[in-house]
């Protein structure tokens, strides 16, 4: 199994508070991704990174920011959490993109915004 | 727009065969992925197809028809542990994965 951890695994917070989720990998993979998963929806890409300090927006990036200061860490920040951001958040990594470069997923963080 | 369609739920019997279909429409195409996700867990990679045809991997096989925008995942000799959601994802021209909502497979004894 790919070495990916996420912290915290569960979090309950209140509307308007900032929240940071951490993804840590030990695989030295170049690409890292943040997804959210909601009932009735497929996984939706929030942001991704293709190297240290290199990030780009995904499909549902509004209200989220990311940072990657080291190869192994990718942080997702909700600047001011809203109830619509209640979700399960998955981090994923891949060595490259395209042919046969599957993504490996972390265990997920369940976030509840009250 | 980009769209992935797969059935919401399917039921099958232990020991039987089940086929889970997926149709896709994405901006460009760089391959089709299938993942398995048990309840409360992370998705895990099952297969990748980029050329037309059938790829067999043990009890699981995956088929792709690029001209029809269609794929299926075939599971043989079903076991109770195969009860899970199966996620179809198409990789678009920007190498981003566009995901279907998943097919929940229920296995009955």
Residues B24-39 have pLDDT tens digits of 998 899 999 999 999 9
Q: Which of B33, B47, B41 is nearest to B81 (CA)?
A: B41
Q: What is the pLDDT of residue B36?
A: 98
B31 in contact with chain A, both atoms CB, cutoff 8 A: yes
Cβ neighbours of B87 in A, within 8 Å: 42-43
A100:B48 CB<8 A:
yes
**Is A90–B102 a contact, with Cβ atoms under 8 angstroms apart?**
no
Q: How far is B45 from chain A (nearest CA, A)?
A: 7
CA distance A96 to chain B (A): 10
Supply angle C-alpha A102, A7, A81, rounded to 5. 100
Contact criterion met (CB < 8 Å) for A99 and B30: yes
In angstroms, the CA A71 to CA A74 distance is 8
- pLDDT, residue A2, reads 63
My answer on whether omega of the bond before A8 falls inside 30° of 0, hence cis, is: yes
What count of CB pairs under 8 Å joins A to B? 45
pLDDT exceeds 70 at position A1: no
Residue B15 near residue B109 (C-beta atoms within 8 A): no
Quick one: pLDDT band at residue A60, thresholds 50, 70, 90? Answer: very high
Top residue of A5, A6, A43, A93 to mutate, by most chain B CBs within 10 Å, is A43
């Amino acid at each position: 199994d790919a070495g990916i951890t996420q912290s915290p695994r569960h979090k309950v917070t209140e509307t308007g508070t900032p929240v940071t989720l951490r993804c840590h990998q030990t695989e030295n993979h170049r690409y890292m991704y943040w997804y959210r998963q909601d009932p009735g929806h497929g996984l939706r890409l929030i942001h991704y990174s293709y190297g240290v300090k290199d990030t780009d927006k995904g499909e549902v990036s509004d209200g989220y920011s990311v940072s990657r200061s080291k190869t192994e860490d990718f942080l997702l920040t909700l600047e001011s959490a809203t109830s619509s951001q209640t979700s399960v958040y998955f981090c994923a990594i891949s060595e490259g993109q395209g042919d046969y470069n599957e993504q490996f997923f972390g265990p997920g963080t369940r976030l509840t915004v009250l | 727009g980009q769209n992935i369609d797969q059935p919401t739920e399917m039921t099958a019997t232990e020991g039987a065969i089940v086929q889970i279909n997926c149709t896709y429409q994405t901006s460009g195409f760089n391959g089709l992925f299938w993942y398995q996700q048990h309840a409360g867990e992370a998705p895990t990679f099952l297969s990748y197809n980029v050329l037309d045809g059938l790829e067999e991997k043990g009890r699981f096989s995956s088929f792709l028809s690029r001209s029809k925008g269609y794929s299926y995942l075939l599971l043989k000799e079903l076991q109770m542990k195969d009860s899970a959601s199966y996620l179809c994802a198409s990789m678009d021209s920007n190498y981003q994965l566009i995901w279907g909502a998943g097919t929940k497979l229920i296995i009955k004894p």
